[in-house]
Amino acid sequence: MSRALIIGAGGVASVVVNKCCQNSDVFTDICIASRTKSKCDALKNKLDGGKTKITTAQVDADNVPELVALIKEYKPDIVINVALPYQDLTIMDACLETKTDYLDTANYEPLDTAKFEYKWQWDYKERFEKAGITAVLGCGFDPGVTGVFSAYAMKHYFDEIHEIDILDCNGGDHGYPFATNFNPEINIREVSANGSYWENGNWVETEPMEIKRVYDFEEVGQKDMYLLHHEELESLAINIKGIKRIRFFMTFGESYLRHLKCLENVGMTSIEPIEFEGKQIVPLQFLKAVLPDPATLGPRTVGKTNIGCIFKGVKDGKEVTYYVYNVCDHQECYKEVGSQAISYTTGVPAMIGAAMVLSGKWKKPGVYNVEEFNPDPFMEELNRFGLPWKENFNPVLVD
């Protein structure tokens, strides 16, 4: 018997709502609240009829008093933040004021600086502890499941993990020359930034897309992948004891990279406001407005994703390697919940993480990244809710 307030009504929220309804023993009541209420109503109308009671509300999640009023009125047991990273801190403030548990899928990023890091949210740790409430940060797939995979590897297969390579492969094809699989603004800010990886206690910075490798992904095939900075590197570097190196690679097709380079070259990916016909506009926000909405890619995306982690370390004095990954089919996701696999692989873990907090399995006052909790019940739920994982104890390593 639990109530969840879901903030946001985009691609990821749509999957969270679907999955909460599939898990109606835990989520008896949900409220979908977002800036554009008609999108919340549309989601509700698609799903009405199940056992979970759905209501909707309008909220500006940049506004703490509005959020507090909504939380006081709806009285949720948890707030699931699947709006944008810009809203993380205001939603955490509202959770503190109302003593409500919190979960999100992406770390805070200020609107005017394309720099995401956990510092801002980790600063809430003591206040959440004092208030006796739990915040789970970054509970999508990556970050999210990648942290759970790391905790699972550590718990069951290693005494020490020395290296982690996170491999995010999207072998999907949506038929457009250029589109992003989640919010274009957030996606382009992420991939056009400098890359970096963690090695021997330091960050090593690279040019964007400077480091390229080729990997043969099961059920997808051979793909080019590029080293990016990614938020879970920051928390895993602290939480996985003995770690010496962590890298994150994401696959990109040639067409995507060619278009991105061109857009960068002409200034369309800039977040610096410019004057246009007497009005200030941010080029990247304008670009977002003309690109396909990721939520509409579902029906036209075919192919599979394969996301996972390769670990190297020692157990009982012997060197061990271990690869754990999930393969997800875009069209299967679309048939089940009407979304493509990127929204699906993010929304399913968000629902599971919230269920972990609600059931008490992941409830401890403070602010935590997912690898700080017991991974076992979460791993079981991944199999149950559509993201089964596979293991390989002799994987091909990335050089």
Q: Which stretches of the chain bind ligand NDP, using CB under 6 A?
A: 8-13, 34-36, 39, 59-62, 82-85, 87, 105-106, 140-144, 182-183, 186, 294-295, 342, 346
Closer residue to ligand NDP (CB): 60 or 129: 60
Pick 313 or 375: Cβ nearer ligand NDP: 375
Comparing CB distances to ligand NDP, the nearer of 251 and 346 is 346
Residue whose Cβ sits closest to ligand NDP: 10
Q: Distance between CA 71 and CA 77 in Å, rounded?
A: 9
Alpha carbon of 120 to those of 62, 83, 313: distances in Å?
Answer: 16, 17, 31
Number of helices (H) and strands (E), helices first, in the chain? Answer: 14, 18
Q: Where are the beta strands (DSSP E) in the chain?
A: 2-7, 27-34, 53-58, 78-81, 101-104, 134-137, 160-170, 195-199, 202-206, 212-217, 221-227, 245-251, 274-276, 279-281, 304-315, 318-329, 366-369, 389-392
Comparison of 320 and 342: residue with beta carbon closer to ligand NDP:
342
* Least distance from ligand NDP to the Cβ atom of residue 231, Å: 8
Instruction: Give least dist CB 90 to ligand NDP, A.
Output: 8
DSSP string for residues in 155-209: HHT-SEEEEEEEEEEE--B-S-SS--SS-HHHHHHHHTSPEEEEETTEEEEE-TT
Residue 60 Cβ, how far from ligand NDP at the closest point, in Å?
5
Q: Shortest gap between Cβ of 142 and ligand NDP (angstroms)?
A: 5
Nearest approach in angstroms of CB 265 to ligand NDP is 25
Q: Is 215 helix (H, G, I), strand (E, B) or coil?
A: strand
Smallest gap from Cβ 319 to ligand NDP, in A, equals: 30
